[in-house]
A and B are shown apart, each in its own frame.
Chain A
Amino acid sequence: MRFIINGQSVERALDARTSLLDLLRDHLHLTGTKKGCNQGACGACTVLVEGERINACLALAVQYQERPITTIEGLGEEVALHPLQRAFIEHDGFQCGYCTPGQICSAVGMMAEAGRGVPSAVTADLDGDSVDLTHDELRERMSGNLCRCGAHNGIIEAIQAAMAPAPAQAAPVKEDAR
């Protein structure tokens, strides 16, 4: 089976039972994507397929051959953080960090959905073709990602900050905060 992960083509012989999550973690050693509940309830395994967020734990890898998949490793690196990664650090968007890769992949997919005008359960006007990502909209749209440390308020702040127009000079990243 051939997969396209973070722009790289990889081939693996897999049992049809292998989930996309186990392919990433156990076969490709991309351990940024986390296994939380393994039943679609927590969102820790969120990855992007053709830019859309999904739960890798409920996905059979065999169904995702030849489709561009992006994991947290494909979004940013330690020397070149993704704007959301920087914002999560600056706004205390995590404590233990276990849910963070899923939160960030989910937020990337969420912003793309909103950009395409996809409504949510709290969108008042279904006829509108643009979405105003208010605090309530963000909370609803991120409800598929649980944080058991309770950093949800920081997560929402981080996403709001990452969405804001870039300042003329980027603030320095605080790397010693924790």
Chain B
Amino acid sequence: MNPFDYARAADPAEAVRLAGARPNTKFLGGGTNLVDLMRETIETPDSLVDVTGLSRRIEVLADGGILIGAAARNTAVAADPAVRKRFPMLARAILAGASAQIRNMATVGGNIMQRTRCCYFYDDAARCNKRVPGAGCDAVGGFNRMHAILGASPACVATHPSDLCVALAALDAVVHVEGPTGGRTLRFIDFHRLPGDRPDIETALAADELITAVELPPLSAAARSTYRKVRDRSSYAFALVSVAAALDVAADGTVGTVRLALGGVAHKPWRAAKAEAALHGAPATEASFRAAAEAELMDAVGLPGNAFKIELAKRTIVATLAGLVRGERS
């Protein structure tokens, strides 16, 4: 690990000021990803600003939404009574990720900023456009079971590893950020980028901006929502495919509100807008769910190691929505 300076910020303004005072500064949350990347010298910041002392409050808003401080620990969010009741898909997504130890350390802000787990990104003997722009990509012709089937580019087929973020994408979350000239908000679905020819640029956040909170707008349909994760072992593994879904079925048996997002399939948490559009007003049947899944995955491209994920994603969408219709908490 390269040497670095360490400072602890008392509030967002101090954090931003400290970060602006030195180039090549990173904000430090629980460290579960950043410390690991620094140990591998994939990340080499000259200074760290510890932001774990910032707000970790989980607050129910007057409109029925929830505001979560960026320093809230994953465990605290998943255990929060209001999150569990109003947004069960978020609690389930967090609980499907990592281990209890890591969930106790990891912050919401850090989870959003985590880097891909592509093994070639971690291996500095391999070519990786995300690590060294223009170097090439060893994943395309290599071990790509865990890689993207949607929105990938010739430059990068890595996936975003978060479970929590898949729920945030489905729930139309809003990210609150603070920068040197003040605060702003971003729609969560615009926060992460597709790789294009610059996979090293992963988010819409400027280097001197800090995530301070995540806001969940009210969504009554989210009371019936869940998260289903398919993986190579039943616990403590990254997703092959995951589905965050909320579904409201009208009295006549048609789909009312539906929210759908996929994990493990793309460079960013993937909001399944095509499937949602196909479902609006359709009968809440497995045939409709299958047709919606087909629409979403129509443009999917498989690699030798991960083409199976296209059919797996379709089946997981159908099974998750059908489970919600039956009232299951998968």
Report A's interface with B, CB cutoff 8 A: 15-17, 19, 38-40, 43, 46, 52-55, 58-60, 62-63, 106, 109-110, 113, 116-121, 123-127, 129, 139-141, 143-145
**Are B104 and A52 in contact (CB-based, < 8 A)?**
yes
Among the interface residues A55, A123, A129, which one has the most CB atoms of the partner chain B within 10 A?
A55
Q: Which of A19, A39, A52, A139 contacts B235 (CB 8 A)?
A: A139
Chain A proximity mask over B1-37: 1 for CB below 8 Å, otherwise 0: 1011110000000000000000000001011100110
Report B's interface with A, CB cutoff 8 A: 1, 3-6, 28, 30-32, 35-36, 39, 48, 50, 52, 75, 78-79, 81, 84-85, 88, 91-92, 95-96, 98-102, 104-105, 234-236, 329
Task: State the majority secondary structure of interface residues on A.
Answer: loop
User: For the complex, what is the distance from the CA of A88 to the CA of B3, rounded to whole Å?
Assistant: 41
21 inter-chain pairs at a CB distance below 8 angstroms, sorted by A residue, are: A16-B4, A16-B6, A40-B36, A54-B101, A55-B102, A55-B105, A63-B28, A63-B31, A63-B50, A106-B101, A109-B104, A113-B100, A119-B78, A119-B91, A120-B100, A124-B329, A126-B91, A127-B84, A143-B236, A144-B100, A144-B102
**Are A106 and B100 in contact (CB-based, < 8 A)?**
yes
**Are A119 and B96 in contact (CB-based, < 8 A)?**
no
Check A140/B235 contact, CB under 8 A, given A62-B6, A119-B78, A127-B84: yes
A62 contacts across to B, CB distance below 8 A = 6, 50
**Are A17 and B1 in contact (CB-based, < 8 A)?**
yes
**Are A58 and B95 in contact (CB-based, < 8 A)?**
no
Distance in angstroms from B229 CB to nearest chain A CB is 8
- Nearest B residue to A110 via CB reads B100
B88 contacts across to A, CB distance below 8 A = 126
**Are A17 and B100 in contact (CB-based, < 8 A)?**
no
**Are A141 and B100 in contact (CB-based, < 8 A)?**
yes
**Are A58 and B102 in contact (CB-based, < 8 A)?**
yes
A19 contacts across to B, CB distance below 8 A = 35
**Are B235 and A17 in contact (CB-based, < 8 A)?**
no
A58 contacts across to B, CB distance below 8 A = 30-32, 35-36, 102, 105
- Nearest A residue to B53 via CB reads A63
**Are A144 and B5 in contact (CB-based, < 8 A)?**
no
A17 contacts across to B, CB distance below 8 A = 1, 3-4
User: For the complex, what is the distance from the CA of A119 to the CA of B94, rounded to whole Å?
Assistant: 11
Check A116/B236 contact, CB under 8 A, given A54-B104, A59-B105: no
Check A121/B104 contact, CB under 8 A, given A39-B36, A126-B88, A127-B84: no
**Are B100 and A119 in contact (CB-based, < 8 A)?**
no
B52 contacts across to A, CB distance below 8 A = 63
**Are A43 and B36 in contact (CB-based, < 8 A)?**
no
User: For the complex, what is the distance from the CA of A37 to the CA of B32, rounded to whole Å?
Assistant: 14
Check A127/B31 contact, CB under 8 A, given A16-B6, A139-B235: no
Q: Given contacts A125-B329, A143-B236, A144-B98, list 8 more A-B pairs with CB under 8 A.
A: A39-B36, A40-B101, A54-B104, A54-B105, A106-B100, A118-B79, A143-B235, A144-B236
Distance in angstroms from A130 CB to nearest chain B CB is 13
Distance in angstroms from B31 CB to nearest chain A CB is 6
A120 contacts across to B, CB distance below 8 A = 95, 100
